[in-house]
Structure 1
Amino acid sequence: MKSGIPSHPPVKLLLVEDTPSLQMLYQTVLNKAGHPSITASTGVEALAKFEDHRPGVVLLDLTLPDADGMAIMRQMLARQPTTRVIVITANGSVDKALDAIRNGAHEYLVKPLGDQRLVAAVATALSDYRTQSEAAKALSHSPYDLPVEDFMGQSEVMRHLNVKINAVARSTAPVFILGERGTGKKTIARMVHRKSRRAAKPLVCVNCSALTPAELEATLFAPPAPSDTGISDCAGAFYHANGGTLVLENPQDIHLDLQARLVTALQDESRIAAAGASPAPVDIRLICCARAHPTEEMRAGRLSEDLYYRLFVIPLTAPPLSQRGDDILRLALNFLHRIGKQEGKIFTSVAEDAAAIMNAHRWHGNMRELINVLRHAVVLHQGPELTRAMLPEDMTGHAPNHEVSGRRHAASGGLEAAMKGLTMAEIEQRAVMAAIERHGGSIPQAARELDIAPSTIYRKRDVWTKPKA
């Protein structure tokens, strides 16, 4: 059976208006003009529907019952800069509308709205989005960034996860998301945030593996400049996430001294103390993402016991792609469409022979591996159908030639001889140091080759070079 997808999905329109009568009136006028809309009445609902549908155009009333419309607009544009936002304001608030224009709004409308003016503004914004933004999006938008409903799919394991996410989102307790690489842990973190009561507030993500201890400390705890009335760019993640959610990726890679400071901040109800200043209260909800189980990391001494008990409160597990059944093909079709747009090609279906191989594949890299396989196929072949012949040989089961097999056997024998008599710790040390040497002393490049965090290598090297008592 071949599966297909629409080649030109319509641009979605989100209408955010808290007055029921006006919402109904605007929606009726737009429907008659051929512009059906999704509606929302609050800031929280608006952000949730924005995340689900990724509309090309948003009609946004700046006065909402639960949130500042300007803040809602900024969050929407941060998540999808190509969206055209038309702000709606009362007659006495034109200055606020002009401020919205300076902050990225496409246009503003003043109440009361005439039908023709409303339809014309929406039509112009839709046309502008189609002709300018969608082309840029096709070239630069990451194929990983699926709408939530497409990412979740319809498999039983994901429906079960969605039930847990809905329950967890209502809590304020820390969440720890576990899963293999490429399973969508950060996407799940975003879902928890957008379904929580903090959805209208910031979501800030920090990758603890990508920074040195000094950089990470500044990234987390740097205070705002004293003269700032708001939160400056130089302020740390705790300040930027105030009222919202802070996501820490790979917290086991935080230096132990910095882990102690994080524990202090969390046990003091997130009161962050800058040098020479009084502790400032910061209200955050903490979510962590990692491949390594925190219990194992604690036992290995990489995660302090104090921090472990403050982070590992509510666990969620992102299932591997191999457990998601027919979701594999649903995801493949979405990615094929997106990658095809980037490459100027059209792929609309997956042949039965290719589908059978993809369903049986282990997918060690999960969605990252799936995207790489599909990009390989799209770049090297023409559509509109993905066939078995387009898949990599290691997936289709083509046997390697005898010369390659001989080289692999010889290399395997040499490797076994080199490791004979060594402990596991000594083998690990030799492998890491050899990778550093291959990359001219670059620890970040060696870390990428070994698929570990640079901070892990720094920490291990400190142990290996420390004089033994």
Structure 2
Amino acid sequence: MKAKDYQKILQELSGIVDEGVHVVDARGKSIIYNEAMASLEKTNRQDVLGKPFQEAFAHIPPEESSLYRALTENRATINQHQTYRNKYGKEITAINSTIPVEVEGQVIAAIEIGKDITEIKSMSDTILKLQKESINPRRPDKPRIKHYSFQNLIGENKAFKEVVEKAKKAAKTDASVFIYGETGTGKELFAQSIHFAGERSDQPFLAQNCAALPESLLEGILFGTERGGFTGAVDRAGLFEQASGGTLLLDEISAMPYDLQSKLLRVLQEDYIRRVGGNKDIPIDVRIIATVNESPQSLIESGALRKDLYYRLNIVNITIPPLRERLDDLPLLVDSFLEKHNKRYGKEVWMASDGALEKLKNHSYPGNIRELENIIMSAVSLADKEHVLTEKQIQIQEAYHEASANTDFEPEKESMDQYLQRMERAIIKSSLAASNGNISRTAEKLGIKRQTLQHKLKKYEL
């Protein structure tokens, strides 16, 4: 096979992948530049293909180009976070991997794979800005993030009260806290209650969902960035610095990439951080509260959570019981949510009928307290002049039940293939509802790729 044949194969391959692909030869001429890369960089392919890199991207200094370094220094760059401007001045943020291609000691080409994260970068900047404003608001009249305390933890169930008492004891210490509770059980309420009842209550409380961002951005958000550390980097404090003296909540810590968990463990052991791209050690004084929504043991066994990090964080362990195990608290919770949402919607629904309570008690609540509140909120918002919440007003999402309903296989009514598809649809619908519509979380729970789940959602019109 001739070299041109290989190049044709690579061109065709690059045209069907989602990531941007840019290949330059030993002279720096662009020989492959696919549509995905052109879309990422908001550039016309014809302005790049067949032209020297330094001509097509004259606005980028050679020393800042990972492609140029790969060619001239035989240096690979893996998953580097880059922010730069294209030739039209449009700011682009991407995660790029660039590798030199070497044959018999000579670099004959360089390949760059890019993934557009411009929108995610914008979101991460907004997160840090909002976190900073929540610590030092410029306007005293600006709405603040609501602070929760132990008074917001409602329940008389014995097991629940024991957990609350344990959390109150934890508030009197400075030890790390590890909270396990299913989705919707109120993990952040517990975390905030612990913080605001402790000695750090007048210091910042910051929270970051570890599942919300890719590793490259999450690392910068946690530890900050140093100017010059990578293309487009600026001097910016991360959450550890912003939360100095206070508490940092790491929600869904098992979603944090494994390598980043290792870096976090080192930070917790040594009590200092180093910004991404920096070389200066910065002392920190931050209390960590971490949460997971699956059994820690199962997360460790599956490799989602480092065992050594778990033991470092699990100084105080709090396990929040799910709502199905404390249904005796349901009347108290219903009354509380009625009062809350009456004020919100200007209604006067002051109590729930026996029939309504009975219907609510017969539900399994995979979404826990959050699901119950959504049910009450929906009923109150749609009420007219009623003062009593009736059974008919309670609308429970049947999607939660669908996976377990009608599971019998009846050959006279459907084929095996139809039965399996019906079950698959029901399981996906139930898991999606339990994850509050979050596709990434649903895919993770089902053990399939996000793209596979999206295909099935389209297939089953969900």
Contact 1:209 1:453 in 2 (8 A): no
CA displacement at 1:348 relative to structure 2: 0.8
Pair 1:386 & 2:389 matched: yes
**Residue number among 365, 375, 382 corresponding to 1:373 in the alignment:** 375
| Residues 180 and 292 in structure 2, CA contact (< 8 A), matched pair in contact too | yes
Paired amino acid for 2:265? V
1:50 — aligned with what?
none
8 Å contact from structure 1 (residues 270, 284) kept in 2: no
CA offset at residue 457 of structure 1?
A: 4.6
For residues 396 and 207 of structure 2, the distance between their equivalents in structure 1, rounded to whole angstroms, comes to: 37
Q: 2:197 aligns with which of 186, 195, 198?
A: 195
Amino acid at match of 2:283: P
The aligned amino acid for 2:439 is A
Note closer, same or farther for the CA distance 1:368–1:393 as it changes in structure 2 (3 Å cut). closer
8 Å contact kept, 1:193–1:199: yes
Which residue number corresponds to residue 446 of structure 1? 439
Contact 2:439-2:450 at 8 Å conserved across structures? no
Where does 1:451-462 land on structure 2 (aligned, <5 Å)?
Answer: 452=445, 457=449
Question: Is residue 181–residue 292 contact of structure 2 (8 Å, CA) maintained in 1?
Answer: yes
SS in 1 for 2:202: coil
Contact between 1:176 and 1:313, CA under 8 Å: does it hold in 2? yes
CA distance in 1, matches of 2:151, 2:416: 49
Conserved? CA contact 1:272–1:282, under 8 Å: no
The answer to whether the 8 Å contact 1:205/1:247 transfers is yes
> Distance between the aligned counterparts of 2:134 and 2:261, measured in 1?
30
**In structure 1, what is the equivalent of residue 332 of structure 2?**
330
Q: CA deviation at 1:356?
A: 2.5
How far apart, CA to CA, are the structure 1 residues paired with 2:317 and 2:451?
Answer: 27
Question: CA separation in 1, counterparts of 2:257 and 2:152?
Answer: 37
Q: State the shift of 1:405 in Å.
A: 10
Letter in 2 for 1:306: D
1:234-275 CA distance string (max 9 Å, x none): 421111111111111111111122112112211212343543
1:294 aligned partner, one-letter code: P
Q: What is the identity, as a one-letter code, of the residue corresponding to 1:447?
A: S
For the pair 1:414 / 2:397, whether they are aligned, the reply is no
Ranked by relative contact order (alpha carbons within 8 Å, sequence separation 6 or more), the top structure is 1
Q: Structure 1 residue 221: deviation in Å?
A: 0.7
Give the CA deviation at 1:360: 3.8
The amino acid that maps onto 1:214 is S
In the alignment, structure 2 segments of 5+ residues that lack a partner are 1-129, 229-233, 454-462
Deviation of 1:204 (Å): 0.9
More strand by share: 2
Q: Which residue of structure 2 aligns with residue 351 of structure 1?
A: 353
Matches within 5 A, 1:68-107: 78=134, 103-105=138-140
For the residue of structure 1 that corresponds to 2:248, the secondary structure is strand
How has the CA–CA distance of structure 1 residues 345 and 450 changed in structure 2, closer, same or farther, with 3 Å as cutoff?
A: farther
Counterpart of 2:212? 210
Residue identity in the other structure for 2:246: G
- SS of structure 2 residue aligned to 1:154: coil
Aligned to 1:267: 269
User: TM-score by structure 2 length?
Assistant: 0.55
Give the superposition deviation at 1:183: 0.5
Please, what is the CA RMSD of the aligned residues?
Answer: 4.6
Which amino acid counterpart does residue 336 of structure 1 have in structure 2? L
Letter in 2 for 1:384: H
**What amino acid maps onto 2:440 in structure 1?**
A
SS of residue matched to 1:346: coil
Task: Please point out which of 315, 318, 334 is paired with 1:316.
Answer: 318
Task: Give the TM-score, by structure 1 length.
Answer: 0.55
Q: How does 1:40-189 map to 2 (within 5 A)?
A: 78=134, 103-105=138-140, 148-189=150-191
Instruction: Please state whether the residue corresponding to 2:343 is helix, strand or coil.
Output: helix
Counterpart contact for 2:248–2:286, Cα < 8 Å: yes
Structure-to-structure mapping, 1:397-408, within 5 angstroms: none
Superposed CA offset, 1:307-338 (max 9, x none):
22222332101111223344322221222233
Partner of 2:279: 277
Matched, 1:305 2:307: yes
Give the whole-Å Cα distance in 2 for the aligned partners of 1:207 and 1:408: 46
Aligned residues: 306
- CA offsets per residue over residues 85-140 of structure 1, 9 Å max, x none? xxxxxxxxxxxxxxx9x94447xxxxxxxxxxxxxxxxxxxxxxxxxx9xx99xxx
Q: Is the 8 A contact 1:298 1:304 kept in 2?
A: yes
Counterpart of 2:7 in structure 1 is none
**Residues 204 and 244, structure 2, Cα contact 8 Å, conserved in 1:** yes
Q: 1:219 aligns with which of 218, 221, 231?
A: 221
Amino acid in the other structure paired with 1:253: A
**Alpha carbons of 1:242 and 1:394: their partners in 2 closer, same or farther (altered >3 Å)?**
closer
Structure 1 unaligned regions, length at least 5: 1-73, 80-99, 107-132, 227-231, 421-426, 437-443, 462-469
Q: Decide whether the 8 Å contact of 2:179 with 2:320 is kept in 1.
A: yes
Deviation at 1:387, TM superposition (A): 0.9
- Does structure 2 conserve the Cα–Cα contact (< 8 Å) formed by 1:224 and 1:236? no
TM-aligned CA distance change 1:369 to 1:409, over 3 Å: farther
Structure 1 residue 186: deviation in Å?
0.5
Alignment deviations for residues 185-223 of structure 1 (CA, whole Å, 9 cap, x no partner): 010011111122211111111100111111111110114
